[in-house]
Amino acid sequence: MRQGHIRTAVSLALAALCALTARELSADLNPAFDGVRAYEHVRHLVEIGPRPAASGGIRQTQAYIIGQLKSYGCPVEEHDFHASTVLGNLPMKNIVVKLHGTHSGIILYTTHYDTVRIPNFVGADDGGSGTGTMIELARLFCARKNSLNVWIAFFDGEEAQGDWTDAASVQWNSDGSNNTYGSREMAAQMALAGELKRVKAMILADMIGPSNVRITRDSGSTHWLVDFIWETAAQLGYKNTFVDQDYAVGGDDHFSFIRRGVAGCDLIDFSIPYWHTTEDTLDKVDAKSLGIVGQVLSATLPRFERKFP
């Protein structure tokens, strides 16, 4: 009897070990969005310092983003271009991950990684939070078998070049804008290549890092896509984060695609008091908030695949 009990105990232990190993393997094959990992990316970006277009800081940022993406096995494309600005002809770079699916449709997940040209501005939230989130999202999607094509884009030159404080100088949402250079460049190139018609949705993550983040419904975004994302958030229990309140966002990267007929949505918390000030520091970013937004973003992809089979 004693030997029988021992054999039973050993069998149970082996079964438990196998179950644990299976769960660990499943976690490796289907990793979950990790807000702490996203936060660590933001921390690294802040340590670089100011990251305006065509600066030494942004070149370090580009190297970091590309290095992280390649470490996850993601196919990385660097799209270099020059932007004609009031500060001159500035070199800029969009960084794009293109994951091929079995169908022709494309889902675009995007952010901008440059910071506004203000002395000592480190852009933890504005420029950092979206970038950290998209790097972490790439880790998940690059390990996933996708039926739709998934593109993850990091835009350069979202911030206005020149005097951003002069509202009259900012010509939003046109080819004459003095901001959104990277997204306008990508949208134009995709139009030339005939790729825009394949894009089912474009999601932009901008300032999403504050503690107790509250993302309002951008009234300029595509309504069905806003509803789709908010429904996803509600299913995950995040109604208090994705709130049922309208707010008009002007001059952001999603308009570069919306005005060309692509469904687009901007995820942004514009209630923060430190926008475009040197108070936009690492302490303003919360790993929990990044985790919530990242979980919602990652959950949209299987829902898109069911919507566009």
pLDDT tens profile 171-201: 555 676 789 999 999 999 999 999 999 999 9
Q: How much is the pTM?
A: 0.89
Q: Which amino acid is at 118?
A: I
Rounded-to-integer distance, Cα 179 and Cα 191, Å: 19
Q: Give the residue among 295, 235, 297, 287 at the shortest CA–CA distance from 33.
A: 295
CB burial of residue 58 (10 Å; 0-12, 13-18, 19+): buried
pLDDT at 178: 84
Give yes or no: residues 272 and 152 share one domain: yes
Instruction: Output the pLDDT for position 8.
Output: 45
Do 183 and 301 belong to one domain?
A: yes
Residue type (1 letter), 148: L
Which of 203, 205, 158, 161 lies closest to 184, judged by CA? 158
Q: Indicate the pLDDT class of residue 6, thresholds 50, 70 and 90.
A: very low
Q: Are residues 238 and 298 in the same domain?
A: yes
At 22 the pLDDT is 34
133 and 53 housed in the same domain: yes
Residue 80: the pLDDT is 99
pLDDT tens for 220-272 read: 999 999 999 999 999 999 999 999 999 998 789 999 999 999 999 999 999 99
Q: Is the Cβ–Cβ distance between 184 and 260 less than 8 Å?
A: no
Position 14 pLDDT exceeds 60: no
Q: What is the pLDDT of residue 249?
A: 87
Q: Are residues 259 and 208 in the same domain?
A: yes
pLDDT at position 177 is 79
23 plus 94 within the same structural domain: no
Mean pLDDT across 73-79: 99
Residues 176 and 103 in one domain: yes
136 and 179 fall within a common domain: yes
The number of folded domains in the chain is 2
Residue 119: which CATH number? Answer: 3.40.630.10
The residue behind tokens 């707010």 is: 247
184 three-class SS = helix
Say if residues 211 and 199 touch (Cβ distance below 8 Å).
Answer: no
| 83 phi, psi to nearest 5 deg | -110, 130
**pLDDT tens-place string over residues 109-130:** 999 999 999 999 999 999 999 9
**Rounded mean pLDDT of the chain?**
90
* Whether 67 and 172 share a structural domain: yes
Query: Residues 14, 39: one domain?
Result: no
Domain that holds residue 19: 1-30
For residues 13 and 124, membership in a common domain is answered with no
Question: Residues 21, 131: one domain?
Answer: no
